[in-house]
Amino acid sequence: MSIKEIVFISGKGGTGKTTMTSSFIPRFENLVIADCDVDAPDLDILLKPQILTTEDFIATTKAVINSDKCLNCGKCISFCNFNAIEAGDKTPIIKESHCEGCKTCTLVCKPNAIEIKPYKTGVIYKSTTDYGSMIHARLTPGEEVSGRLVSEVRKRAKLTAENNNNEIIIIDGPPGIACNVISAITGSSLAIIVTEPTVSGFHDLVRVNDTANKLRVKCAVIINKFGLSDRYTKEIEDYCERNSISILGKVSLNKEILRSVNKLEIPNINNHDMVNKIKEIIYN
Ligand SMILES: Nc1ncnc2c1ncn2[C@@H]1O[C@H](COP(=O)(O)OP(=O)(O)OP(=O)(O)O)[C@@H](O)[C@H]1O
Ligand code: SF4
């Protein structure tokens, strides 16, 4: 049987995507968990994983100046198209956030004082939890290549599932509709859009569903924080009906959920019907 990947996304941040993801994890068996919200991962706060391995994620290269060889002639400064090198007392200084690793500076440096070296942009963890193996990662603050890190997390989650004969991968996706979301949902069995009945919740539901449609990924919706607005609940319901999107269920805005999350515990949401609907979708 092929491995099914279920990814939770939201478009808008703060709709309760991670809270919902966590509440479904204990309802499935034989699973691997992947946290693809690598810019701001917080599923680990609720799952309390025990880290087994930590690995640097190298996605780019940067210039490094060898001070023993550098003559401080300044040629590299004027040739850098990205303004990534500025004058310094003993050698020029590479501004890592600007350097694209293009190698131009290495070509103009007579004493070969510049080397292009691999640069760490994040960390990937393999962990164990009460519910199964977990692959998670953390992007170095300020780095912009989270799509590749997301792909790496998914690749490793799939490999883990294949090695352990796991049937399901539950993915906490990133918010937004940028490349990291595309990396998180491409080729998945089902994208569950966790929305909320607000103007921005509805707006982003449409945007993220459009993105998933372009990638031919099937979507279903959970209306979280139900009770916030009748008007936007109706807008979401009408939109889902028009676009043949299954609404798995509604979860009310309630203090019990907030209390559990504040105690760093997975909230106990009555989502058994939703689980049955998910299984129906992914296995048919
Ligand atoms: N149904 C609910 N009732 C009350 N509070 C809720 C509910 N769902 C989520 N919350 C609270 O809303 C906040 C945001 O939830 P959560 O972190 O799951 O959102 P998110 O969509 O994953 O955010 P991000 O975009 O940052 O990843 C949390 O404090 C959570 O406890
Ligand atoms: S071109 Fe080479 S020698 Fe000249 S300043 Fe740059 S690194 Fe130093």
- Give the pLDDT band of residue 223 (cuts 50, 70, 90): very high
Ligand 2 centroid from CA 122, angstroms: 29
**Residue 212 confidence (pLDDT) above 90:** yes
Atom of ligand 2 nearest to the CA of 108: 1
Domains and CATH numbers, the chain: 4-58+121-283 (3.40.50.300), 67-112 (3.30.70.20)
Ligand 1 centroid from CA 24, angstroms: 14
The preferred substitution site among 258, 264, 269 for testing ligand 1, maximizing ligand atoms within 8 Å of CB, is 258
Q: What is the pLDDT of residue 142?
A: 83
User: What residues line ligand 1, using a CB cutoff of 6 Å?
Assistant: 10, 13-19, 37, 40, 175, 224-225, 251, 253-254, 257-258, 261
- Give the pLDDT band of residue 59 (cuts 50, 70, 90): confident
Q: What is the pLDDT of residue 262?
A: 95
3-state helix, strand, coil in the chain (%, to 5): 35, 30, 35
**pLDDT, tens digit (0-9, with 9 covering 90-100), for 108-154:** 999 999 999 999 999 999 999 999 999 999 999 888 768 999 999 99
> What are the two backbone dihedrals, phi and then psi, of residue 8, each rounded to the nearest 5 degrees?
-95, 125
Four-residue CA torsion sign, 162, 148, 122, 180 = negative
Determine if ligand 2 sits within 6 Å of the CB of residue 13. Answer: no
**pLDDT, tens digit (0-9, with 9 covering 90-100), for 159-198:** 999 999 999 999 999 999 899 999 999 999 999 999 999 9
**pLDDT, tens digit (0-9, with 9 covering 90-100), for 12-26:** 999 999 999 999 999
Ligand 1 centroid from CA 114, angstroms: 47
Question: Can you tell me the mean pLDDT for 192-216?
Answer: 97
Q: What is the pLDDT of residue 145?
A: 66
The preferred substitution site among 62, 67, 71, 79 for testing ligand 2, maximizing ligand atoms within 8 Å of CB, is 71
Angle at 68 between CA 67 and CA 74, to 5 degrees: 50
ipTM of the complex: 0.88
**pLDDT, tens digit (0-9, with 9 covering 90-100), for 42-53:** 999 999 999 999
**Partners of residue 54 on adjacent β-strands:** 125
**Residue 1 confidence (pLDDT) above 80:** no
Q: What is the pLDDT of residue 146?
A: 84
Question: Can you tell me the mean pLDDT for 85-113?
Answer: 95
- Residue 13: strand, helix, or coil: coil
> What are the two backbone dihedrals, phi and then psi, of residue 70, each rounded to the nearest 5 degrees?
-65, 135
Q: What is the pLDDT of residue 256?
A: 95
**Residue 84 confidence (pLDDT) above 90:** yes
Distance CA 230, CA 226 (A): 8
Q: What is the pLDDT of residue 284?
A: 87
Other Cβ atoms less than 10 A from the Cβ of 140: the count is 15
**Residue 4 confidence (pLDDT) above 80:** yes
The preferred substitution site among 255, 261, 270 for testing ligand 1, maximizing ligand atoms within 8 Å of CB, is 261
- Tokens representing residue 82 in the block: 């990205």
Nearest to 281 by CA among 211, 220, 216, 209: 220
Q: What is the pLDDT of residue 32?
A: 98
